[in-house]
Amino acid sequence: MPEREIRLWGDPVLRSVCDPVTVFDDSVEALAADLVDSSRPEGRAAVAAPQIGVGLRAFGYDLDGRTGYVINPEIEVGGRLRDIEEGCLSVPGLFFPTPRYEFARVRGVDAKNEPIEIEGTEVFAQMLQHEVAHLDGQVYVQTLPKERRREAMKAIRSSDWFLARMA
């Protein structure tokens, strides 16, 4: 499958809570393949369904030698909460320290509705938290503390990609 175009900040699909997948057919397998393929290019770690314009609870990843996808994920976090430099394909070129837990576990299903569980620490945990937040209609800049969020919004509004979309 080809990599899909990434939706940018301001696209309404990024602000919408995604619907759970309830029908497991060929279209779900195709979505899973698209998500994984869209995660593979250099500089990427993962892609959530709304980032490719699909309002369903699914994400794909290719990070730290681990590749896969999860449908209908539920997340559990633990450990210390700490700031980690973070960016997003939907907010290109901008990075801000983002509060993330050092451990995360996600339970969901695959395209055949069979259980999947993945977990990780550090950057992998950060990715899991980031992608599940997308499925809940949140882009990471919305989770930043007030002052950083203000700085992020100013940077977004002055970015070339955002200005081009507003023209």
Domains belonging to the chain, first-starting first, are 12-158 (3.90.45.10)
Residues marked as catalytic: 131
Placement of tokens 């539920």 in the chain:
74
For residues 127 and 47, give the distance between their C-alpha atoms in angstroms, rounded to a whole number: 10
Residue 165: pLDDT band with limits 50, 70, 90? confident
Cβ atoms of residues 22 and 40 within 8 Å: no
The residue count for the chain: 167
Percent residues over pLDDT 90 in the chain:
92
| Residues 3, 43, 90: CA angle, nearest 5 degrees | 65
| Model pLDDT for residues 43-70, shown as the tens digit of each residue | 899 999 999 999 999 999 999 999 999 9
For residues 130 and 119, give the distance between their C-alpha atoms in angstroms, rounded to a whole number: 13
In 14-159, alpha helices (H):
26-39, 122-135, 146-158
Query: Other C-beta atoms within 10 Å of 162: how many?
Result: 18
Radius of gyration of the chain measured on its C-alpha atoms? 15
| Model pLDDT for residues 21-51, shown as the tens digit of each residue | 999 999 999 999 999 999 999 889 999 999 9
Please give the model's pTM, rounded to 2 decimal places.
0.95
**Across-strand partners of 159?**
none
When mean pLDDT is compared across 24-28, 109-113, 154-158, 163-167, the lowest value belongs to 163-167
Mean pLDDT, rounded, for 78-106: 96
